């Protein structure tokens, strides 16, 4: 991609962020950065969400809490009845059944896919998705992706879809203080792409420049596996769009594999390129 076109795309990315969409809370490990050593493992299948909490009892003994319940996508909320589990086998010892005791109701009110407030009997705590493999949220775009969207025909969706297979494997410094994730077409290397992330509205923005200079613009929300939102092709009206991760392919990313972060300290932040 030539430098002038890159600057045009960078400006479009900077000005285009602003779409708001429904979100799905990110699966995986969550924590409070100010409370290292305690964490939350969140997963979801269909409408059911599960939450495992590894923490301690009042005497400082390691204790697990586990529960499940429905996730409410309208109110972005989860609630379930939990039990505490303790007194089981040591790691590597013969199995012995742990003791479980009813703990009470635990709920999470999510503000976006990465943040929420967990409430439990006797208190509450703000939590966030634990970022242990990326230097920034923007870097969650690094890897192989498939993007697709309908093509607008006036106010109607056309009979065809438009899509790209993209590899984001480096960074592009626009020279104005903004650094973007840089990519290209997986099938057609003359297709280029720039991606960024807005923390203000939790939105990923990707501009794909086709060989004829047409820009395919995406504004999407989600985690590092699926993004959902809308796109516009050239001067077309926005249409629904989806981005799906094909693979991480860490060995192809600049800088090589990162060292894992400790669960018991603040995560190490990798240098921005």
Report helix, strand or coil for 22. Answer: coil
**Domain 3-20+135-252 -> CATH class:** mainly beta
- List the beta bridge partners of residue 34: none
User: Are the beta carbons of 151 and 236 closer than 8 angstroms?
Assistant: yes
Q: Which residues contact 13 (CB under 8 A, 6 or more apart)?
A: 180, 194, 195, 196, 205, 207
- Tell the burial category of 139 from Cβ atoms under 10 Å away from its Cβ (0-12, 13-18, 19+): buried
Bridge partners of 70? 48
This prediction has a pTM of 0.70
At 10-47, the pLDDT tens digits run 555 655 554 444 577 888 999 999 998 899 999 999 89
> Predicted confidence band at 271 (pLDDT cuts at 50, 70, 90)?
very low
| pLDDT above 80 (res 233) | yes
Q: Where are the domains of the chain?
A: 3-20+135-252, 28-129
Q: In the predicted model, what is the mean pLDDT of residues 170-199?
A: 90
Which range, of 7-11, 64-68, 98-102, averages the lowest pLDDT? 7-11
Residue 247 CA neighbour count, 13 Å, CB half: 6
d(CA 69, CA 106): 10
- Yes or no: say if 191 and 1 are a contact pair by the CB < 8 Å rule: no
Per residue in 78-133, pLDDT (tens digit) is 999 999 998 888 888 998 888 889 999 999 999 988 899 999 998 999 999 998 88
Q: Report pLDDT for 91.
A: 86
C-alpha 266/C-alpha 186 separation (Å) is 35
How many CA atoms within 13 Å lie on the side-chain side of 126? 6
């Amino acid at each position: 991609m030539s430098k002038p076109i890159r600057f045009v795309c960078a400006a479009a990315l900077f000005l285009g962020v602003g779409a708001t969409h429904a979100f799905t809370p990110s699966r995986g490990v969550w924590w409070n950065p100010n409370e290292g050593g305690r964490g939350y493992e969140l997963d979801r299948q269909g409408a059911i969400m599960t939450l495992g909490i590894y923490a301690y009892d009042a005497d400082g003994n390691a204790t697990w809490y586990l529960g499940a319940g429905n996730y409410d996508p309208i109110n972005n909320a989860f609630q379930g009845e939990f039990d505490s589990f303790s007194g089981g086998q040591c790691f590597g010892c013969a199995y012995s059944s742990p003791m479980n005791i009813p703990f009470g109701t635990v709920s999470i009110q999510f503000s976006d896919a990465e943040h929420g407030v967990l409430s439990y009997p006797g208190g509450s705590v703000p939590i966030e998705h634990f970022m242990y493999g990326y230097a920034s949220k923007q870097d969650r775009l690094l890897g192989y992706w498939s993007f697709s969207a309908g093509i607008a025909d006036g106010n109607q969706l056309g009979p065809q879809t438009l899509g790209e297979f993209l590899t984001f494997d480096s960074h592009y410094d626009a020279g104005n203080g903004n650094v973007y994730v840089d990519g290209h077409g997986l099938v057609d290397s003359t297709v280029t792409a720039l991606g960024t992330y807005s923390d203000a509205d939790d939105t990923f923005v990707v501009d794909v420049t086709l060989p004829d200079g047409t820009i395919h613009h995406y504004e999407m929300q989600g985690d590092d596996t699926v993004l959902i939102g809308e796109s516009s092709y050239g001067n077309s009206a926005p249409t629904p769009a989806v981005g799906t991760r094909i693979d991480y392919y860490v060995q192809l990313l600049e800088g090589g594999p990162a060292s894992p972060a400790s669960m018991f300290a603040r995560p190490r932040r990798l240098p921005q390129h």
